[in-house]
């Protein structure tokens, strides 16, 4: 629903996507804190708790079911983006929306679908985070959006649009996770981690802009 609202605002009012999604982030986070009374929520034990469980049942799964779910959805979306008309439309709109519209692509409808899918996957990631923590915490993942941006750019995605892949984004996510875990294992304080991550974001965005200007 939040993805649909974002898509509707962006397409109908022609607002800047980054501003709309950032504003909605604040609204949703504030609403979550209000609904939870700024406290963690202990939910009843259900099958959801097993999504990211460390001990798997059955044992032949080898890792948490949520990991397999992530890999399955990654493969599905990679196929969709590469081999379907919808996927071609997504890249066309990202490259040049005006040209895509002149080519007959229904840009507004496609963008709304894109934001709705994004909202769906963000909701699913929230459920998996709940399973990992075993509680609902409205204050978790604050600042994680910067890591996500850096992961996508490191993985070959472009802030200008029209470039990127599911595999590249996943590789970027793993690199960021390794950096976070590595800093923790080294015993470095949190501010050192923030400095390193901030530096990586600046370098990644700079390289993206250099690549974009070279291609154009």
Q: What percent of the chain is helix, strand and coil (3-state, nearest 5)? A: 75, 0, 25
Share of the chain above pLDDT 70, in %: 95
Q: How confident is the model at residue 54 (pLDDT cuts 50, 70, 90)?
A: low
C-alpha 59/C-alpha 15 separation (Å) is 49
Q: How confident is the model at residue 190 (pLDDT cuts 50, 70, 90)?
A: confident
Q: How confident is the model at residue 46 (pLDDT cuts 50, 70, 90)?
A: confident
Mean pLDDT confidence for 108-115 = 93
What is the pLDDT, as a whole number, of residue 109? Answer: 92
55-66 pLDDT, tens digit each: 666 666 677 788
What is the pLDDT, as a whole number, of residue 163? Answer: 80
C-alpha 183/C-alpha 213 separation (Å) is 33
Which has more confidence, 124 or 215?
124
Whether the Cβ atoms of residue 21 and residue 36 lie closer than 8 Å to each other: no
Residue 50, pLDDT > 90, answer no
C-alpha 212/C-alpha 216 separation (Å) is 6
Alpha-carbon separation of residue 112 from 6, 79, 98, 118, 160 (angstroms): 8, 20, 16, 10, 19
What is the pLDDT, as a whole number, of residue 2? Answer: 92
Note the pTM of the prediction, 2 decimals. Answer: 0.81
Q: How confident is the model at residue 89 (pLDDT cuts 50, 70, 90)?
A: very high
C-alpha 116/C-alpha 7 separation (Å) is 7
- Average pLDDT of the chain to the nearest whole number: 84
C-alpha 207/C-alpha 191 separation (Å) is 24
Residue identified by tokens 């009374």 is 37
Residue 15, pLDDT > 80, answer yes
19-28, 40-49, 77-86: segment of lowest average pLDDT? 40-49
125-159 pLDDT, tens digit each: 888 888 888 888 877 877 788 888 888 888 888 77
User: Which two three-digit tokens encode residue 30?
Assistant: 């504030």
What is the pLDDT, as a whole number, of residue 179? Answer: 83
Residue 176 is classified by DSSP as: H
């Amino acid at each position: 629903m939040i993805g649909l609202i974002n898509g509707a605002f962006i397409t109908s009012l022609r607002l800047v996507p980054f501003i709309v999604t950032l504003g909605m982030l604040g609204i949703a986070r504030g609403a979550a804190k209000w609904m939870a009374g700024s406290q963690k929520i202990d939910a009843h034990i259900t099958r959801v708790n097993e999504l990211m469980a460390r001990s798997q049942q059955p044992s032949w799964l080898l890792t948490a079911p949520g990991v397999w779910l992530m890999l399955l959805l990654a493969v599905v979306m990679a196929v969709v983006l590469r081999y379907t008309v919808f996927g071609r439309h997504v890249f066309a709109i990202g490259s040049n929306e005006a040209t895509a519209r002149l080519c007959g692509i229904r840009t507004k409808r496609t963008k709304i679908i894109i934001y709705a899918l994004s909202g769906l996957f963000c909701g699913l990631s929230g459920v998996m985070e709940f399973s990992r923590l075993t509680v609902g915490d409205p204050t978790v993942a604050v600042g994680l959006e910067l890591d996500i941006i850096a992961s996508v750019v490191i993985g070959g995605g472009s802030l200008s649009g029209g470039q990127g892949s599911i595999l590249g984004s996943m590789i970027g996510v793993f690199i960021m996770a390794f950096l976070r875990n590595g800093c923790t294992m080294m015993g470095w304080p949190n501010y050192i981690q923030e400095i390193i991550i901030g530096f990586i974001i600046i370098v990644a965005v700079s390289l993206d802009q250099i690549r974009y200007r070279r291609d154009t």
